[in-house]
Structure 1
Amino acid sequence: MQGRHREGSGQPRWLAPFVILTVFLLSALPLGRLAYTGLVSAANGKVWALLASPELANAMVNTLTTSFLGMLISLAIGGAFALLLTLCDIRAKTALSFLFMLPMMIPPQVTALAWIGMTGPSSTLLKAVGLAPPLGSSQPLYSIAGIALLLGVQHAPLVYLALRAGLLALPQEGIEAARLSGASSFQLLTQIVLPLSLPGFIAGAAIAFVSGVGNFGIPAILGIPASIFTLPTLIYSRFASFGTSTFGDIAILSGLIGVIAMLGLAIQDRAMRGRDYRLIGLSGKAATFRLRAWRPLAELGLWLALFVMLVAPLTALVASSLAPAYGVPLTLKTATLAAYEEILFRQSVTRTAFGNSLVLALTTAFGLLTVTSLTAYVLVRGRGRLRFLLSALVDIPYALPGVVISVSYVLLFAAPIPLLGVTLYGTLWIILLAYLSSFFAVSLKPMVSALTQLDPGLEEAARLSGAGFGRRMVDIILPLVGPAAGASVILVFLIACNELTVSALLWSAGTQTLGVVIYNLDDSGSFDLAAAMSVLVVLMVIGLMLLLELLGTRLPRGVVPWRN
């Protein structure tokens, strides 16, 4: 027993080294390779020509502008939904929250296609109802404002989640005491609720800004046709026009994206200092504002917002998929399922993409479940500074934009692996490794949450009875964290199956994913086929979210993000 387990603990000796090695290979090694390439390029003097180029300056301005404006839109939309659904006596809160989370779960390129189908002179939906602008009118979304608007819609649920967590912790007693002192609802909101909620607003603003910086799908669909490049799309264009300095350039560009993302998080940390409010009294029960006569108006506003943000764009997407060609008015006579027949039965590339995405998503979800079960055990049951370091290394790839992760894996595996002579670039394996790195934190969070709530006395009693580590995991731990494990698998599968940003630079012929094919179909002018694939993806997303909703009552709090 001494040789197999650490003294005074039930952990086998191999567990911590295995977790450390896994985290090193998935996180530290690729990011270290990225940093090394950037430093070499800078040492050779190639960095100055890139930094001085007008192309980079424009991309930097576009990235900061769209991300900042998108952040403001996200704050307005997400803040309004969080305040109304958390603090007010709104009816159908669960349904409203579920629908509001959908834009975040839907891939950004699908969001862009849906909004394109809803606006502009070629909109099938607008033509069907006779509201289409005159032919020759410009598409308003092909602009900085259009990109910022969709970034705001896409990331508003992030603000909602960040703000709601703080609102749920407001003590009912403090609100009631202020009411008894004669404070009006407006005074309660402006003098108590909003000041105490400021950390949530700051956190939501930071994550919305960082997410906007790294978003590839929306700027690619809306920006590239109008020659509006952000840093992620500039990396994509540089990679497409491969040259002698490509690796150095994309390493430096990726480093800039990483620096902007980290600066955004650092500003958040700075703004949060001095605002760590400690609430005395019972919390966890949200303060309630009774809207009375204003309630129907508030509910109407929420449903109208969801109609504009979700229902109308998705309806336009369905209409575009049923039209015989993009821009043709949809009627009972012109409606056709030809686009669905084409992508499901005729085009081999779409069937390949479905297969690749399903295989990658399933392998990522279950592979990470195995790794994160052990990692969560080390983080929850372990001691010392190792836990903080491991947790930080797991979180960094998820905090960084996906394009940075993909570039790091391109640089790591562009050449054959030393000694083995095996090339991973151009295969599904490199996409799988990048997925494992990017979604490690997504899989880990539910497992850590579930293990934290388990009484360690159960495992300790089994250990004292002679049960080994494997037996305790199989008979005690895994059955008790089963619902969280199921949520982990579904969340990772949901995100990985629709991913575009990571795989955009890693795919090659035969390794296309759903996100890549949707983007390529739209780029080649087959909007109806791209719309049909997007509709199928949205149906899959809704189905998986409903499955998570069914599991929600058995999951630890916070695992299913839209549940109150």
Structure 2
Amino acid sequence: MAVMTLPTREVGEAPTSVPRGLQNEAVRVVARRLGVIAFVALLGYLVVLPVVRLQATAFEDGAAGYSRAFGLPRIGQILWNTVGLAFGSLVIAMVLGTALAWAANRLPRRLAVLQILPILPIVIPAVAAIVGWAFLLSPRPGYLNAMLRNLPWWSHLEEGPIDIYSIQWIVIITGFSLSSFVYMFVRSGFENINSEMIEAAQVSGLPEWKVFFKITLPLLRPTLIYGAGVALLLGLGQFTGPLLLGTNTGVSVLTTEMYFQISDSPAQFATAAALGSPLLIVGIVVVFAQKALLGNQRRFVTHGGKAFRSQGRPSKTGVAIILLFSLLSTVLPLLALVFVALSRYWSGTITFSALSFDNFRTIFSGSAVPAAVSNSVMFSLVAMAIVLPLGFVAANLIVRGTRYPILRVVADVLVSMPLGVPAVIFGAAFLLTYTRGPLVLYGTPWVVILVYVTLMLPFATRMQLSSMLALGDTYLEASRVSGAGFVATNVKILLPLMRGSLGGTAALLFVLLTHEFTASLLVRASQTQVMGTILFEYWSNGGYPLVAAVALVMTGVTAVGVAAAMLVGGADALSKM
């Protein structure tokens, strides 16, 4: 009978080698970790390095920049205006944005297309929208003010009754514009609440207002917190409204004061950097506050996959809310822009017989506007091609990177930082960084593209992150159980499920990029003009009809980009912006 013996190893013999499968797995683990580290380092290079270089100038010569900044005669009023603008516009944006999201969720199916209307204020360039409001509500020549003075209550007035150049109306206009951003976040949250939970609460006897406050609002907590954080940071970094409406009346905030410091000759980068420090600190605090308030975000996932329904009961009130908001926020300013663009002068009176297309012929007769349109489209598309994959990877790391807890938090902070840094400061920071070695990019399109990529990181990440959170892990776990790997799961499962979200994100990025002029104004060269900088030059020269004409061209270019994003992301892509 044969006896089976186990192989033995002699003294000094080399140990048995590790199985090849374990070796390959170890290599993959190390490669993934190195890849995550490299990705976070890339984010740090884009976001942190330029800001650090700029902030370092504030500490030169014994922190002389801080001494000059906080020794300004009106610094107290400037800080008060900044805080009032941020929190006043935040309250307006949160109330309006949430109400609009609720209204969109209650639209009858035949009127579902109306859910696009609250997004339209973003399509109009910010500088053009502000000018449109000025055309309407300027105290003496404003069209709407002139109509209001025909009413008995204000017939005795020679100007007003509304002063668009006051801090109160700057806050209101800013709140209206930010409500569209809040709407996008909260609308996404409404879409991912299973209506069966709402119906169960109603069947149990709760009135509708209690259902809203006890069931709906708690489930909307992630999107409300994200939306509030975005609105607060955008409010703190507001530049266009205070610059165009507040400069002549002495209303100044931190961002406009920083711009004036940079525009001085010589440029006071140290003073501007010191003025931006409070905004940087608040931005970091808001990011960590969001993390603390949200806690475990998976508690809010109600997307079950099977028989999922998110549509609420149809409401005529919802239709009325959306139509009224669209009239005030979009239709009236756009009509003012159209009329001024077709007029020779802005006189405050409406004369249809004098309308013509001369302003459009003027802007297209030269090479500046066509070249700026071409540059804007090209720079925006290249920046989108870079930032969308960066945002996807960052969102994946934040949602599912439990193996890398420290890198996960660092990535979350890095992608959120551009929201807390005004675009004017990023423009100055990139100007400083890329006019020195080792990488000199000033005068090339790449410095504009890098600024665009950095500014868009929060939007590209947060929009995709919200979609990933709403989907949960059910689909991904099913894919992995079936034997699919990490790459196959993301490419074949996650990306198709996020198609609408990706299309909406691309549409939003294209809108924001083609409208951007603040950072572009600082880093542009004569051969890298974009639509925003050309429009601002016309505004600075007082050519209001030409400003309106360029603004309408920008709006048309944006509409084409949004339509292209809808073709890629599906018919509902715009509703997922």
Aligned residue in 2 for 1:159: 182
The yes-or-no answer on 1:519 pairing with 2:536 is yes
> Per-residue deviation at 1:175?
3.4
Matched position secondary structure for 1:7: helix
Match of residue 112, structure 1, among 111, 126, 130? 130
The yes-or-no answer on 1:438 pairing with 2:452 is no
Mapped partners of 1:238, 1:150: distance in 2: 25
**Aligned-CA RMSD value:** 4.3
Mapped partners of 1:502, 1:435: distance in 2: 8
Q: Deviations over 1:281-300 (max 9, x none)?
A: 96964473454xxx2x5523
> Per-residue deviation at 1:254?
1.8
**Aligned in 2, Cα 1:392/1:93: closer, same or farther, shift over 3 Å?**
farther
> Per-residue deviation at 1:258?
1.6
> Per-residue deviation at 1:345?
1.5
**Aligned in 2, Cα 1:327/1:224: closer, same or farther, shift over 3 Å?**
same
The yes-or-no answer on 1:40 pairing with 2:60 is yes
Give, as a single letter, the amino acid of the residue that structure 2 aligns with 1:209: L
Larger radius of gyration: 2
Match of residue 547, structure 1, among 564, 570, 576? 564
Aligned residue in 2 for 1:309: 329
Mapped partners of 2:386, 2:461: distance in 1: 12
**Aligned in 2, Cα 1:112/1:459: closer, same or farther, shift over 3 Å?**
farther
The yes-or-no answer on 1:253 pairing with 2:268 is no
Aligned residue in 1 for 2:11: none
Aligned residue in 2 for 1:224: 247
Mapped partners of 1:276, 1:24: distance in 2: 28
Aligned residue in 2 for 1:365: 384
Aligned residue in 1 for 2:363: 343
Aligned residue in 2 for 1:73: 92
Mapped partners of 2:442, 2:553: distance in 1: 29
Mapped partners of 1:434, 1:125: distance in 2: 38
Q: Deviations over 1:346-393 (max 9, x none)?
A: 3x3323322332232122123445666777788889743444434442
Q: Deviations over 1:21-46 (max 9, x none)?
A: 532321232233234333436x3344
Mapped partners of 1:384, 1:10: distance in 2: 12
Mapped partners of 1:408, 1:130: distance in 2: 47
Aligned residue in 2 for 1:528: 545
Mapped partners of 1:12, 1:252: distance in 2: 39
Mapped partners of 1:462, 1:286: distance in 2: 31
Mapped partners of 1:182, 1:395: distance in 2: 42
**Aligned in 2, Cα 1:298/1:24: closer, same or farther, shift over 3 Å?**
closer
CA contact (8 A) 2:54 2:270 kept: no
Match of residue 395, structure 1, among 413, 416, 424? 416
Q: Deviations over 1:320-361 (max 9, x none)?
A: 100111126444420110111111123x33233223322321
CA contact (8 A) 1:64 1:213 kept: yes
Q: Deviations over 1:513-551 (max 9, x none)?
A: 211222221222100000011111112223322333344
Mapped partners of 1:171, 1:482: distance in 2: 18
Q: Deviations over 1:458-494 (max 9, x none)?
A: 997799xxxxx9xx89997999699577666544333
**Aligned in 2, Cα 1:459/1:435: closer, same or farther, shift over 3 Å?**
farther
Aligned residue in 2 for 1:144: 167
Mapped partners of 2:24, 2:536: distance in 1: 51
Matched position secondary structure for 1:68: helix
| Aligned-residue identity in percent | 23
Give, as a single letter, the amino acid of the residue that structure 2 aligns with 1:94: A
Matched position secondary structure for 2:169: helix
Give, as a single letter, the amino acid of the residue that structure 1 aligns with 2:312: T
Q: Deviations over 1:427-486 (max 9, x none)?
A: 5432222112222344456777689867866997799xxxxx9xx899979996995776
Mapped partners of 1:473, 1:194: distance in 2: 32
Mapped partners of 2:554, 2:234: distance in 1: 21
CA contact (8 A) 2:100 2:318 kept: no
> Per-residue deviation at 1:162?
3.3
CA contact (8 A) 1:37 1:247 kept: yes
Structure 2 unaligned residues grouped into runs of 5+: 1-19
**Aligned in 2, Cα 1:243/1:16: closer, same or farther, shift over 3 Å?**
same
Aligned residue in 2 for 1:233: 256
> Per-residue deviation at 1:91?
5.3
CA contact (8 A) 1:321 1:529 kept: yes
What does residue range 126-275 of structure 1 map to in structure 2 within 5 Å? Answer: 140-194=163-217, 197=220, 200-243=223-266, 246-266=268-288
Aligned residue in 2 for 1:288: 312
Q: Name the stretch that deviates more: 105-114 or 327-336.
A: 327-336
**Aligned in 2, Cα 1:196/1:318: closer, same or farther, shift over 3 Å?**
same
The yes-or-no answer on 1:496 pairing with 2:513 is yes
CA contact (8 A) 2:340 2:548 kept: yes
Matched position secondary structure for 2:252: coil
CA contact (8 A) 1:84 1:90 kept: no
What does residue range 474-513 of structure 1 map to in structure 2 within 5 Å? Answer: 483=499, 489-513=506-530
Mapped partners of 2:142, 2:296: distance in 1: 50
Aligned residue in 1 for 2:4: none
Give, as a single letter, the amino acid of the residue that structure 1 aligns with 2:370: R
**Aligned in 2, Cα 1:83/1:381: closer, same or farther, shift over 3 Å?**
closer
Matched position secondary structure for 1:439: helix
CA contact (8 A) 1:125 1:330 kept: no
CA contact (8 A) 2:79 2:254 kept: yes
Q: Name the stretch that deviates more: 20-29 or 217-226.
A: 20-29
Q: Name the stretch that deviates more: 317-326 or 298-307.
A: 298-307
Q: Name the stretch that deviates more: 191-200 or 511-520.
A: 191-200
**Aligned in 2, Cα 1:390/1:340: closer, same or farther, shift over 3 Å?**
same
Mapped partners of 1:191, 1:447: distance in 2: 27
CA contact (8 A) 1:124 1:323 kept: no
Q: TM-score, normalized by length of structure 2?
A: 0.79
CA contact (8 A) 1:5 1:11 kept: no
CA contact (8 A) 1:5 1:13 kept: no
CA contact (8 A) 1:98 1:563 kept: no
> Per-residue deviation at 1:279?
7.8
Matched position secondary structure for 1:226: coil
Matched position secondary structure for 2:74: helix
CA contact (8 A) 2:479 2:493 kept: no
Q: TM-score, normalized by length of structure 1?
A: 0.80
